[in-house]
Structure 1
Amino acid sequence: MAMTHLMRTRTALGLVAATSLLVLSACGGSGDSSSDAEKDSPASDSPSASAEAGSEGGPDLDAIPDVVAEVNGEQVTKEEFVPIYEAAFAQAASQAQMGGAAPDEEQLRKQTADDLVDTELLAQEAEARGLEASDEDIDAELADLAEQNGLGSADELLDAVEQQGVTEEQARGQVEMQVLVEQLVADEDGPIEPTDKELRAIYDRAKEQQAQAGQSGQGGAQQIPPFAQARDQLVEQATDQRIGKVATALVEDLRADADITVNL
């Protein structure tokens, strides 16, 4: 499958959470939270719709150029930038409502541009190494994501995210990039096979954090199941951490030799 700009609808290091934006959209589709609905609403589909959102308290999109960045001659466009930026802004705004600082639009714009540059670098590197995500790979990843979210099939997942303004084409592009990053990490650093020692370390940290939460009087914390029951989740978390570590190091190396211009 040919590399496309569509893949940049995923941020580079957000990929380590197994298409977290896609999962968040699916979860939002099954809930009644108005903040979730606003965060992933169809208004984030296009720059024109986003501009309307900006006039109602959303981010200011007027200063964003048509070409946000150039990476080794490839353009990152405003159309690609806006949905990611809006999602970041909505998350920051939601945190502000819960007592956090108000969104820093300048910082969010910079972070979004950096993430998209990183994603483009990874996409170019995958292409240079001859790596491809087949339709079968994408279908399998979608099925796994559906299962993780308690949905019966990939079609149910796609229906859920579509209700949140993410088209099937965009969703498949997100998953394609996830698969490519996993392939890149395996090509760079070997197969990802977490050891029991690594899993135990993650499990022990989680238990320690739970104990600290109890000591600080934070009630309502979810009980951590026994290690054997939690093993699959621990493998998933360890895998995500490994992907994140290797992908981050790879991006740093790629940036050192890349021709990058950011127009913000």
Structure 2
Amino acid sequence: MITLSLAVVLAACGGDDGDSGDSKKDKDNAEEKQDGQASKQQEMPKPNLKGVPDVVAKVNGNEITKKEFESTYKGQFQQMAMQSQMSGQKLDQDKLKKQTAESMVGTELLIQEVNNRDFKASQKEVDNTLKELAQQNQLKSKDKFLSALKEQGMKEKEIMSQVKQRVKMDKLIAEESGDIEPTEKELKKAYDQFKSQQEQMNKNSKDGKGGEGDIPSYDDMKSDLKSQVKRQKEAKATQKIVDQLREKADVTINL
């Protein structure tokens, strides 16, 4: 599923610290486990939305509706269900529902703060964000990204509205967090963590085909590491803003 929902801005805040180069690592994990688990794979679980109230949460008087929650939850569920199948661990849907609701509350707080500060989003900024989102979803262009979202049932007006909000939220985060550009020291630390994880995986591999020769060099990984570390720092900065807003907000979650 192609992701755009603003709630995904907060999705990585809870446990992203130790996983550098995660997209490649996940791909390698999947390839290593695919053959051994193919015969054991169970049918993909389905999202359980029974008992979700019509109003999932209220944030300073603004409602997060069942329809909004279900749309976001299904996207989060699909990602987590795939990870659950790969790891062999059972997916706790009650926990995921609460995490999704908390994420949506955080996003609503950010949107309210953005609107209070009257941030603007230019067409150029919107276009650049669309290109970044296309890359994150492994699509070659913003047009392909828009087409994919439309195929999932989103209307262009809704897409552009969410992208504009995302641009404004990025401005809020940048204003509050200051310079979050990764340093060389942070990138090398992230690479060392990734390398250590890969070496451990190779050591534990039954095939025994691993080794340092299979691990990309720092220079080859640098671009990916930079994106990863920047996302981690953005996530921490975002969560800090949300925590501050939450302290003075009137929030009720009905799950």
Task: Kindly state the Cα deviation for residue 100 of structure 1 after the two structures are TM-superposed.
Answer: 3.3
Matched, 1:118 2:106: yes
Matched, 1:244 2:235: yes
Verify the 8 A CA contact 2:47 2:77 in the aligned structure 1.
Answer: yes
Structure 1 match to 2:7: 10
What are the within-5 Å matches in structure 2 for residues 1-264 of structure 1?
9-14=6-11, 58-98=46-86, 100-147=88-135, 151-217=139-205, 223-264=214-255
CA distance in 2, matches of 1:136, 1:115: 28
Per-residue Cα deviation, 1:32-78 (whole angstroms, up to 9, x for no partner): xxxxxxxxxxxxxxxxxxxxxxxxx7334342222211101111111
Q: Please, which moves more after superposition, 226-235 or 96-105? A: 96-105
State, as a whole percentage, how many aligned pairs show the same letter. Answer: 40
Task: Kindly state the Cα deviation for residue 171 of structure 1 after the two structures are TM-superposed.
Answer: 4.1
Provide the secondary structure at the position in 2 that maps to 1:10.
helix
Q: Please, which moves more after superposition, 76-85 or 102-111? A: 102-111
Gaps in structure 1 of 5+ consecutive residues: 1-6, 18-23, 25-56
Q: Please, which moves more after superposition, 137-146 or 212-221? A: 212-221
What count of residue pairs does the alignment treat as equivalent?
221
Provide the secondary structure at the position in 1 that maps to 2:11.
helix
CA distance in 1, matches of 2:190, 2:59: 36
TM-score, structure 1 length as denominator? Answer: 0.71
* Structure ranking higher on relative contact order (CA contacts 8 Å, 6+ apart): 2
Per-residue Cα deviation, 1:106-130 (whole angstroms, up to 9, x for no partner): 2222221111101101111222223
Q: Please, which moves more after superposition, 191-200 or 210-219? A: 210-219
Verify the 8 A CA contact 2:120 2:168 in the aligned structure 1.
Answer: yes
CA distance in 2, matches of 1:205, 1:173: 38
TM-score, structure 2 length as denominator? Answer: 0.73
